[in-house]
């Protein structure tokens, strides 16, 4: 797991270099055939990447985007009307049975289809009309890391192909940002020691980083066996905050931008409750640094081009410290993150 976390800068660079030309071709096609609706189908970590895609696509393209419920097709055998839709299936292995059924049914019903996978010879790669190949190399760890960030990057390229107005040079900066973020590993290892005896926690974020709350929590559950609940900063306050108390662990993604005021107010509440809060933010966001006692500060800085949506490029550099934290905490607990109990790399469900 640690080896593959450290491989992410190169994996992101390969994915960008290898897939941008296909994104350019898809952009030309979509200019003539713009979908009315986007449906994302995935499971597990890939479903967390789909959560990111939902926010990114709606924010940057204004096309309504939703997450598929594969059981509607696989168990209830309902024939969905996909006319005018773009259906995007996401799977690390490309062999997720129910995700592929959604893709197959959508194509049969006349939808345009896109696959995002790490395996060029997979069933998904053969089913989809258009493919974004995550060029992460073989992922051996059961806990997916480099394929998750590769899927996030693919979502950026898909959004660009659909007309999103961001600059591709901003995407080209992400591999270097990932490399700089990896230098935080010694600090994160020290922080993980503090949480050795944690058996429950909450992970909090909102907006473009909401997907990272799911992904961080998943890594804590599958490698550390910690009961990790995930919430948006808004949803937490609609009831679940009642369980928060002194020393209750809370891991919070705190980027700048439109989500910050709500997250800031929540951090103040958590401080009042004396919760044990760890904030993930970046060096360009001084208010979050100043308000947090324990924090992981990534090297991301705002550029003038990125200021319209200040948290637009935070999800990849923000999740890498969370991945490192989960791997280090697993080791602190005496677990082997490469061999989580009862799990295997490829999961097939209907």
All structural domains of the chain, each given as residue ranges with its CATH number in brackets, are 2-168 (3.40.50.10490), 177-332 (3.40.50.10490)
> Could you tell me the strand order of the sheet in which 85-91 lies?
65-67, 37-41, 85-91, 112-117, 130-133
| pLDDT level of residue 141 (50, 70, 90 thresholds) | confident
247 with 273: CB under 8 angstroms? no
250-to-4, 110, 196, 211, 230 alpha-carbon distances in Å? 26, 45, 14, 16, 10
Q: How far is CA 274 from the centre of its chain?
A: 29
49 with 67: CB under 8 angstroms? no
| pLDDT level of residue 342 (50, 70, 90 thresholds) | low
The pTM (predicted TM-score) of the whole model is 0.94
| pLDDT level of residue 40 (50, 70, 90 thresholds) | very high
| CA–CA dist 91, 110 (Å, integer) | 21
| CA–CA dist 140, 151 (Å, integer) | 17
Closest by Cα among 215, 194, 191, 193 to 203:
215
The yes-or-no verdict on residue 278 having pLDDT over 90 is yes
| pLDDT level of residue 166 (50, 70, 90 thresholds) | confident
pLDDT at 3: 96
Write the pLDDT tens digit of every residue in 69-99. Answer: 989 988 999 989 999 999 999 999 999 899 9
Write the pLDDT tens digit of every residue in 175-207. Answer: 999 999 999 999 999 999 999 999 999 999 999
The yes-or-no verdict on residue 159 having pLDDT over 70 is yes
Phi first, then psi: give them for residue 86, nearest 5 degrees: -105, 120
The yes-or-no verdict on residue 345 having pLDDT over 80 is no
| pLDDT level of residue 52 (50, 70, 90 thresholds) | very high
Tokens of 48: 């967390």
Summarize the confidence of residues 35-41 as an average pLDDT. 97
């Amino acid at each position: 797991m640690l080896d593959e976390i450290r491989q992410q800068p190169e994996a992101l660079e390969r994915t960008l270099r290898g897939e941008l030309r296909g994104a350019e071709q898809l952009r030309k096609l979509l200019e003539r055939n713009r979908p009315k609706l986007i449906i994302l189908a995935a499971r597990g970590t890939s479903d967390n990447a789909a959560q990111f895609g939902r926010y990114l696509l709606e924010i940057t393209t204004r096309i309504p985007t939703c997450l598929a419920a594969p059981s509607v097709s696989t168990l209830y055998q309902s024939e969905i009307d996909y006319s005018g839709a773009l259906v995007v299936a996401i799977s690390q292995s490309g062999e997720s049975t129910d995700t592929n059924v959604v893709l197959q049914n959508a194509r049969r019903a006349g939808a345009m289809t896109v696959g995002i996978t790490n395996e060029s010879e997979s069933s998904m790669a053969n089913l989809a009309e258009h493919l974004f190949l995550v060029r992460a190399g073989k992922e051996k760890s059961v806990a997916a890391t480099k394929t998750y960030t590769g899927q996030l990057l693919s979502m950026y390229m898909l959004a660009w192909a659909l007309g999103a107005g961001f600059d591709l040079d901003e995407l080209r900066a992400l591999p270097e940002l990932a490399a700089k973020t990896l230098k935080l590993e010694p600090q994160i290892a020290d922080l993980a020691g503090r949480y050795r005896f944690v058996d429950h926690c909450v992970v909090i974020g909102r907006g473009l980083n909401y997907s990272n709350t799911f992904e961080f929590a998943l890594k804590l559950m599958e490698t550390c066996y910690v009961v990790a609940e995930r919430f948006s900063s808004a949803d937490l306050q609609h009831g679940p905050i009642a369980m928060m108390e002194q020393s209750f662990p809370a891991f919070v993604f705190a980027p700048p931008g439109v989500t910050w005021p709500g997250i800031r107010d929540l951090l103040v509440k958590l401080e009042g409750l004396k919760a044990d809060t760890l904030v993930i933010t970046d060096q360009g966001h001084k208010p979050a640094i100043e308000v947090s006692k324990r924090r992981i500060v990534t090297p991301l800085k705002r550029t003038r081009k990125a200021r319209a949506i200040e948290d637009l490029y935070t999800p990849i550099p923000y999740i890498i410290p969370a991945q490192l934290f989960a791997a280090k905490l697993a080791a602190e607990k005496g677990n082997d993150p490469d061999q989580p109990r009862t799990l295997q790399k490829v999961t097939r469900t209907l």
